[in-house]
Amino acid sequence: MGSPTPILYFLLLILLVSLHHTPSFADKKKSYVVYLGSHSHDSSEMSSVDFNSVTNSHYEFLGSFLGSSDTAKDSIFYSYTRHINGFAANLKEEIAAEIAKHPKVLSVFENNGRKLHTTRSWGFMGLEDNYGVISSNSIWNKARFGDGVIIANLDTGVWPESKSFSDEGFGPIPSKWRGICGKGSDHGFHCNRKLIGARYFNKGYASRVTTPLNSTFETPRDNEGHGSHTLSTAGGNMVQGVNVFGQGNGTAKGGSPRARVASYKVCWPPVNGDECFDADILAAFDMAIHDGVDVLSLSLGGSASNLFNDSVAIGSFHAAKKGIVVVCSAGNSGPNEATAENLAPWYITVGASTMDREFPSYVVLGNNLRFKGESLSATRLKHKSYPIIKATDAKLASATIQDAVLCQNGTLDPNKVKGKIVLCLRGINARVDKGEQALLAGAVGMVLANDITTGNEILADPHVLPASHINFSDGVDVFKYVNSTKSPVAYITYPTTKLHTKPAPFMAAFSSKGPNTIVPEILKPDITAPGVSIIAAYTEAEGPTDQEFDKRRIQYNSISGTSMSCPHISGIVGLLKALYPSWSPAAIKSAIMTTATTLDNEAETILNATFIHTTPFSYGSGHVQPNKAMDPGLVYDTPTNDYVNFLCALGYNETQMSVFLKAPHQCHKKFNIINLNYPSITVPNLNRSVTVTRTLKNVGAPATYIVHVQNPNGITVSVKPNVLEFKHVGEEKRFEVKLKVKKGKATKSYVFGKLVWSDGKHYVKSPIVVKAI
């Protein structure tokens, strides 16, 4: 063998150089958030020079670990300078661990991702004519339709051209507003006297993607639809003649239609399934508090974590300190228990339930059996029967039965499907994607059947072909018919709109449930609201299915998820803010929770999607009743100091709390978490007996309230005193609730009861959740 050629020497040299410069695992950097608590300054009185000074202090602090402020400047991509004190930076793991030990640091956590809480992109899992939950205009009129209130969301941005955000009829922008219209490179984007502000935050997202972001990411515009939908549900204008492909026609309106709105874009195309990153969320919170918002709506979430490692928990605490009400979605991981997200006590966490409106589309079989499904398909079949085939009988030879039954991508054989209706099972891939797969294979229609876990929860989607989504039991019958018939045929009727349906509401199968996995003593979700087939504003940059194949464009769309129920509550909060501007976030939350109902429109306990009675782990305090929330009589108010004592009881020390508050704090040594003045009572580990304390504040006329108790199974509940007399507004009364295990009667599982204070006019209700040990 001859000597190596010069080319070979050159290749070997390149290899050696590349090996020499390949970074070890320890050298690799990740993006982190370093949380330093609060600022002592008032951001409204600070100049840009002052904010720069705060940023320089962050450079100096990180520089003490990295060797120089210049190195720190290259590492930090966010400096939180207004209300939240901290920064986000690209760091080596060992440096992050070293920083976490510093006494000035409350926490250091990875810049993790979160997801939007809409179900259309999940296989499993409002702006309707009367807002679904408001039965008359009484609260709207008294609250001036939310006039003067500023509602904002952290989401995918906003479509400013939507009529829901027109400023026709609006006066000057409120003087308290300090925000901007951050257009970025999108020169066509505009704000107005309705949509008064918009910003975008993408540096945390940029730190997690593999390629640099181009100019299309420099915009607050909603190219996905989710942000416009949620923002218009909370505070969109009244817009007449709204419908989705002719269905649900009526006047669209947000909960607070005269409120001003603002958008903080923090969510972007998914990276490994995550869309909204912690560093961006904290930056948006910091700026929104500074800008002067009154209500913040977050239809996003992630895996439950330590409260000081949770951007939503941190940001919302700083917001609550400034009187801002934060509303969060509970998540779409139901019906399994212990799946709820957004678990801190200082914001409102919302589950999703149905309303009394459906879009029925019937599946008619060759044996004349009819099954009611739902759909928002824009196309209709000719009035005749078509062959119907199970997806598993129509699969390609290369496809597995498990994939084919779900009508997953590339599983259907066009030779077997063409001209037929395909029967698909719900699960894994998006419902609308199943229809697309059927259409691509030549099907004329699709019947989508639930599995046993999704039960009776059927959703109206804007399918690309005639389709109907049927429940589990009806699906079983359709499968039986196809299996037992030599030449099965079927027909799918064109959808219609039906109101005043029963039973309603019932819990959506996708709605995440308690118990709380971080703080079991706090019941989550707090409340439920409409979150199924909600019609609201949409982007015109995407089709109604949000799938690449969908070239249709509509101005309003129907979507489901706790993403949709969350802004219903945000809109109601806006009305209460307008009506009672001096009320604290805790008082507003209490008014919403204690006036909720646990009954449906058949006067039965709210059911789940399989039509079994649910518990507070599904609906919290119940389904929201806005008109009653306007006049709650009494509220459970919670001062900020109580939340701090709550954190002390979780194990945070006085030094950490002093850093957190930027003021000395002495922890209340005897404070028990179960005594946080919360509108619900949860005792997860009851050993024999325990006494819980609560304080009620009168927000109505002088009155005498008498307590009524529904005992949980195996538990006796006694209240002392059992009568509370209030003589003036603002008066507070303390009471004790003793819970005692009945000998030999208690179970080791959670049981549920109720405590109600009533003066004959008001009914101030609290769920009781107990588990004996």
Q: Which of 155, 274, 278, 642 is catalytic?
A: 155
Rounded to whole angstroms, the Cα distance separating 668 from 686 reads 22
| Contact predicate 478/462, CB 8 Å | no
Token couple for 356: 């009394």
| Contact predicate 750/515, CB 8 Å | yes
Q: Is 547 exposed, middle or buried (0-12, 13-18, 19+ CB in 10 A)?
A: middle
Q: Is 602 exposed, middle or buried (0-12, 13-18, 19+ CB in 10 A)?
A: exposed
| Contact predicate 766/681, CB 8 Å | yes
Catalytic status, residue 226:
yes
Residue 415: helix, strand or coil by DSSP?
helix
Chain Cα centroid distance, residue 588: 19
For helices 278-291 and 311-321, what crossing angle results, to 10°? Answer: 10
Of residues 226, 204, 206, 223, the one with CA closest to residue 214: 206
CA distances from 294 to 204, 287, 330, 429 (A): 25, 13, 21, 38
Residue 232: helix, strand or coil by DSSP?
helix
Of residues 218, 464, 458, the one with CA closest to residue 357: 458
Question: What is the side-by-side strand order in the sheet with 634-635?
Answer: 634-635, 689-698, 732-741, 715-720
The Cβ of residue 23 has, within 10 Å, a number of other Cβ atoms equal to 9
| Contact predicate 146/259, CB 8 Å | yes
> Position of tokens 């961006």?
280
Cα angle 227, 230, 234 (rounded to 5 degrees) comes to: 135
Strands 534-537 and 556-559: antiparallel
Of residues 312, 331, 322, 336, the one with CA closest to residue 264: 312
Q: What is the DSSP letter of 237?
A: P
For helices 654-661 and 640-649, what crossing angle results, to 10°? Answer: 150
Of residues 295, 327, 296, the one with CA closest to residue 593: 327
> Position of tokens 């912690």?
278
Rounded to whole angstroms, the Cα distance separating 731 from 655 reads 34
Rounded to whole angstroms, the Cα distance separating 268 from 264 reads 12
Q: Which of 117, 226, 290, 318 is catalytic?
A: 226
| Contact predicate 108/32, CB 8 Å | yes
Rounded to whole angstroms, the Cα distance separating 662 from 737 reads 35
Token couple for 419: 């001209």
Identity at 719, one-letter amino acid code: V
Residue 220: helix, strand or coil by DSSP?
coil
Identity at 157, one-letter amino acid code: G
Q: Which residues contact 366 (CB under 8 A, 6 or more apart)?
A: 385, 481, 485, 487, 488, 489, 490
Token couple for 666: 């002495």
Of residues 654, 658, 667, 668, the one with CA closest to residue 40: 658
The Cβ of residue 745 has, within 10 Å, a number of other Cβ atoms equal to 11
| Contact predicate 261/233, CB 8 Å | no
> Position of tokens 């700083």?
318
Catalytic status, residue 563:
yes
Residue 159: helix, strand or coil by DSSP?
coil
Q: Which of 512, 563, 565, 570 is catalytic?
A: 563
Please tell me whether the peptide bond between 360 and the residue prior to it is cis, using omega within 30 degrees of 0: no
Residue 215: helix, strand or coil by DSSP?
helix
Active site residues: 155, 226, 563
